[in-house]
A and B are shown apart, each in its own frame.
Chain A
């Protein structure tokens, strides 16, 4: 039968393999493996999975599946056992070839070899004696257990050879290492370089599996190097073999770590590079490096900062802390897992002395207490003195007088105290001699004079006294008053307020355009001023000991006569058409932010020409046009203004023509022009504003056409 023939072939192959295996296992050390066999040897890592799976399957089949008398069952079991035996023998053979390539840790290799060989033999023996084993449940169980044990051992040892020690359990135990090293204690090699080698190199270059005869585990073996020689040379151009091979393109055969393994990061490469460059010391401390040393900068991010203060007292109860927190008192740990607490008070109106007394449950843990601006009284200092571990106390702008500062003397741990902006006097500071650790004292805006401060500094040289800015010798310049009015354009009158923000300062003003003087000009009382004619309001602020303010001005316009209708001869530029012709008579003044407030009519390509109509003949004697100059944005005063009048558009007569003065530097301002003419009656008025044709030679955009902007016209 065909099937039996196949079985025989497999059986015989298996027998041959096992014989060869026995021979090689005993005498293989002397063997020279030819190249083609090396290839099969390298297939060991692939093939080894077959015996493991097949054997486990066979074990399950032979022990767990009932119905032993069924011939199909037996045949399947036989096939499984034979397949296991054959694949185990082949894997073991290939493994032997591979082991000849060397570079593995001897002890592990020895155990792996023999457990592998044992797997092959046991499986084969099981196949041969399968019928006898099947006769008793116990025999079957024992054989199965032995096979599983041996194959597990072989598999685990094999994994140890390729992946390194602890490979299996590493994810479970990692991250549970002892306390973090602080920057202060860290060594360049031990804490910076070695971890890189450990993570990225040592899985191949360790005592068990020394690829290229290189072991990186100890200082001595690192110095020794591998079969190609030493690893580094701080004087060579590329700092020697290791850096050279790290820097090779990844596809190169010589590149390290080899393609497929986890590569070094940029920072790791730099750590190795700078370490070798600086002479590859094994004992250098990181903190001894100069501060701007590249290695130190690289190192800094990897260690705990130096200054984590350790506190000896126990943490307070979490619920106690929670209960002490409310909207006006905040109690919080300095950081996660820190027993030390900081307490802040907020809300002047809500503060009560009891709030301080309630902290007695956490008195040991409070290291920072912030009472800035709270109405703390002298008597409260007694409560504060019961916090023995207080390091930082802020009492600025509190209501204390200083009389009871002596109460603070139990605060032996106090380092920083702020008494700024309080009534404390120099005589109250006797307590300083009782505070040995105090290093900074804030005394800005207190009763302590400059000479007293000098004396204190001499007496307590270890304390830094911060007295801040007194402003005594500074002569500052006053702000101009802010002019607040309802409207720039009014019909009959308008009210204006002059706001001054500096206490005691006097605001004076004029309405005729002259600069207010400090003696005669009227004083603004803070009430509003009534303005009933077109004028320029000028104000200036005065206060002894201060430099007087700049002059602030603002134009106010009496609206005068309003035409019955208005028309524009040319349309304005689409960007600046505001409300159309109405813009000029809507009593709203634009400002220099012409882009955003949409109150200006803008023209560039054509003149601004408008016609104003009255139903009845109206007496007029002056026209005032309000325009914008924003030289940086090419908006110039008009090159020429013309005013025409008549009873009909057909009979207009030129009444007045002016050519406004042109600016000589960049600026932005509003400017109005008054065109006065002989009093006369008319029904139609035409106003023409010509834009500047070419910007002046000094302008950054010289030669370009200018703009003309107008927002309002006033007729009288």
Chain B
């Protein structure tokens, strides 16, 4: 027997549940005591069991998430965080007392001066809570009363990949499960005919940073929790149709035979991934009818096309992905993850960010309106934001009309809407827009809050792997009550 096989058989042997464990030990006080030492929740029912039920820990506000990730880090200072002081002090050096030793990226650490750069764009207050928005977001300004702006997000990473990975998986290094995978694991899928976690990608004209499949990985969770990336073409899911001369009955027979073989295999090896494979084949079979139903945009009324903008009919655009996200979400997909690339404006920021907003502003706002008019906004949590913010000083040469901004992890703005989120403006930054003045929200706090809205206690949503329990929020994170209705 090959060593690999032996290892698998050994793992199978170890794959015992606690009932077997107890029944195989002689039943005495000693074995129970030993059992309770080895299985800490032996007598309390065990949170593993609670999670296996695939149910929220308490009544959820939100059932699903649509996460509009703005990859590359949009400039909060040109969109949300209005700082007139920066315009007053345009070109003057960032005071050391404000920077306070903050580390810089390799891109500006060699810069001799850090001239403050006020936003070139006009700001105005909107809605009941007086949220500030720049002129770049005319459509978002119409839905502000449904949005909660968190102006005091902060993160630990200063470069794209670790920051993005941190937001998605709760750790800066890879291989931990992504937020969508955690939700799929914690809540199960709503619609058994679709993946619980779908990923849609689009790209703007601005300077872009990569997104990779490790961001929607299941990590150490069962692979059925992995994000399913949709294609950018006219068929979002490829190879769904039966090949010529194969009809549904043939397909069914084939799947049954394959399942039989896989079951034989499972009996020998006991690898749970074999069962996952059987289930995934079955789901793909049902997806053959479910996907065309969900992704068909041809029957959307004209008002929807106008709401999202006609681009929403062009596959692969951000607008099309927003519309598809609504359709997937209303069909019971737990977590729809969008990534829109192109926000990394180290230079030419005014021009780049204007282009990015043109691509995203209307469709983001449309998604809110659309969910709301169908009665779905109160059960869907929508999140808009990047992996960190951008500096208040200029990267490169500052001219009256042009500037660039470097990465800034100490404060940035994201917004959330729907699903039990309290609309308004949360937290304040200092007058330089560099540090947080009140109510900071760490990435783990944000994750804990999002899970809370979905009815999950972030400290109880755990998975035991390699001898320790893992959480999305690692070992920190607090639910931010101020964000919740």
Q: Is the CB of A373 within 8 A of B313?
A: no
B464 within 8 A of A: no
Q: Closest B-chain residue to A416, C-beta based?
A: B375
Q: Is the CB of B479 within 8 A of A300?
A: yes
Q: Is the CB of A469 within 8 A of B374?
A: no
Q: How far is the CA of A344 from the CA of B192 in the complex (A)?
A: 11
Q: Is the CB of A336 within 8 A of B192?
A: no
Say how far A277's CB is from chain B's closest CB, in angstroms: 16
Which of B59, B302, B373, B478 has the most C-beta atoms of chain A within 10 angstroms of its own C-beta?
A: B373
Chain A binder among B50-58, B67-75, B161-169, B249-257 = B50-58
Q: Is the CB of B306 within 8 A of A335?
A: no
- A 511-526 contacts with B by CB, 8 A: none
B289 within 8 A of A: yes
Q: Closest A-chain residue to B59, C-beta based?
A: A335
- A 646-675 contacts with B by CB, 8 A: 666
Are A346 and B332 CB-contacts (below 8 A) given A335-B58, A469-B369? yes
Say how far B64's CB is from chain A's closest CB, in angstroms: 11
Contacts of B482 in A (CB 8 A): 291-292, 297, 300
Q: How far is the CA of A467 from the CA of B374 in the complex (A)?
A: 9
Are A347 and B375 CB-contacts (below 8 A) given A445-B303, A469-B303? no
Q: Is the CB of A442 within 8 A of B190?
A: no
Are A344 and B478 CB-contacts (below 8 A) given A394-B375, A700-B397? no
Chain B 287-305, CB-CB to A under 8 Å as 1, else 0, gives 0011001000000011111
- What are 12 of the A-B contact pairs (CB < 8 Å)? A296-B481, A300-B479, A328-B193, A347-B289, A347-B293, A350-B289, A372-B374, A416-B378, A468-B374, A469-B303, A477-B310, A503-B302
Chain B binder among A44-52, A200-208, A301-309, A683-691 = A301-309
Out of B53, B191, B306, which one reaches A330, CB within 8 Å?
Answer: B191
Are A349 and B57 CB-contacts (below 8 A) given A440-B375, A471-B303, A700-B397? no
Are A468 and B314 CB-contacts (below 8 A) given A336-B56, A445-B303? no
Contacts of A36 in B (CB 8 A): none
Interface size, A (range): 35 or more
Q: How far is the CA of A346 from the CA of B190 in the complex (A)?
A: 9
Contacts of A300 in B (CB 8 A): 479, 481-482
- A 480-512 contacts with B by CB, 8 A: 482, 501-503
Contacts of B361 in A (CB 8 A): none
Q: Is the CB of A396 within 8 A of B478?
A: no
Out of B314, B331, B375, B480, which one reaches A442, CB within 8 Å?
Answer: B375
B389 within 8 A of A: no
B386 within 8 A of A: no
Say how far B17's CB is from chain A's closest CB, in angstroms: 20
Q: How far is the CA of A327 from the CA of B282 in the complex (A)?
A: 11
Q: How far is the CA of A700 from the CA of B394 in the complex (A)?
A: 14
Known: A373-B331, A501-B310, A502-B313. 7 other contacts (CB 8 A): A301-B481, A336-B50, A336-B58, A442-B373, A469-B303, A469-B370, A476-B310
Q: Count contacts between A and B, CB distance < 8 Å.
A: 146
Sorted nearest first, the 5 A-B pairs with minimum C-beta distance are A468-B373, A300-B481, A418-B375, A501-B313, A444-B373
Q: Is the CB of A301 within 8 A of B479?
A: yes
Q: How far is the CA of A308 from the CA of B420 in the complex (A)?
A: 13
Q: How far is the CA of A144 from the CA of B312 in the complex (A)?
A: 89
Q: Is the CB of B193 within 8 A of A442?
A: no
Say how far B299's CB is from chain A's closest CB, in angstroms: 10
Say how far B457's CB is from chain A's closest CB, in angstroms: 10
Q: Is the CB of B332 within 8 A of A309?
A: no
Say how far A504's CB is from chain B's closest CB, in angstroms: 9
Q: Is the CB of B307 within 8 A of A469?
A: yes
B455 within 8 A of A: yes
Say how far B115's CB is from chain A's closest CB, in angstroms: 15
Chain B 455-485, CB-CB to A under 8 Å as 1, else 0, gives 1000000000000000000000011111010
Q: Is the CB of A297 within 8 A of B479?
A: no
Q: How far is the CA of A467 from the CA of B190 in the complex (A)?
A: 27
Contacts of B301 in A (CB 8 A): 421, 445
Q: Is the CB of A346 within 8 A of B59?
A: no
Out of A348, A421, A471, which one reaches B302, CB within 8 Å?
Answer: A471
Say how far B195's CB is from chain A's closest CB, in angstroms: 13
Interface class of chain A by DSSP: loop
A169 within 8 A of B: no
- A 439-467 contacts with B by CB, 8 A: 440, 442, 444-445, 466-467
A479 within 8 A of B: yes
Q: Is the CB of B373 within 8 A of A420?
A: yes
Q: How far is the CA of A348 from the CA of B351 in the complex (A)?
A: 45
Q: Closest B-chain residue to A372, C-beta based?
A: B330
Contacts of A338 in B (CB 8 A): 59
Contacts of B293 in A (CB 8 A): 347-349
Chain A 340-356, CB-CB to B under 8 Å as 1, else 0, gives 00001011111000000
Are A466 and B373 CB-contacts (below 8 A) given A297-B439, A308-B59, A335-B455? yes
Q: How far is the CA of A377 from the CA of B478 in the complex (A)?
A: 47
Q: Is the CB of A334 within 8 A of B310?
A: no
Contacts of A335 in B (CB 8 A): 55-60, 455
Chain A 101-123, CB-CB to B under 8 Å as 1, else 0, gives 00000000000000000000000
Q: How far is the CA of A297 from the CA of B481 in the complex (A)?
A: 7
Q: How far is the CA of A440 from the CA of B376 in the complex (A)?
A: 12
Q: Is the CB of B193 within 8 A of A336?
A: no
Out of A347, A394, A417, A444, which one reaches B290, CB within 8 Å?
Answer: A347
Q: How far is the CA of A257 from the CA of B289 in the complex (A)?
A: 65
Q: Closest B-chain residue to A397, C-beta based?
A: B374
Q: Closest B-chain residue to A304, C-beta based?
A: B58
Contacts of A297 in B (CB 8 A): 439, 480-482
Contacts of B58 in A (CB 8 A): 304-305, 308, 335-336
Q: Is the CB of A330 within 8 A of B190?
A: yes
Q: Is the CB of B59 within 8 A of A396?
A: no
B85 within 8 A of A: no
Contacts of A304 in B (CB 8 A): 58
B277 within 8 A of A: no
Q: Closest B-chain residue to A666, C-beta based?
A: B348
A632 within 8 A of B: yes
Are A479 and B314 CB-contacts (below 8 A) given A330-B190, A346-B290, A502-B305? yes
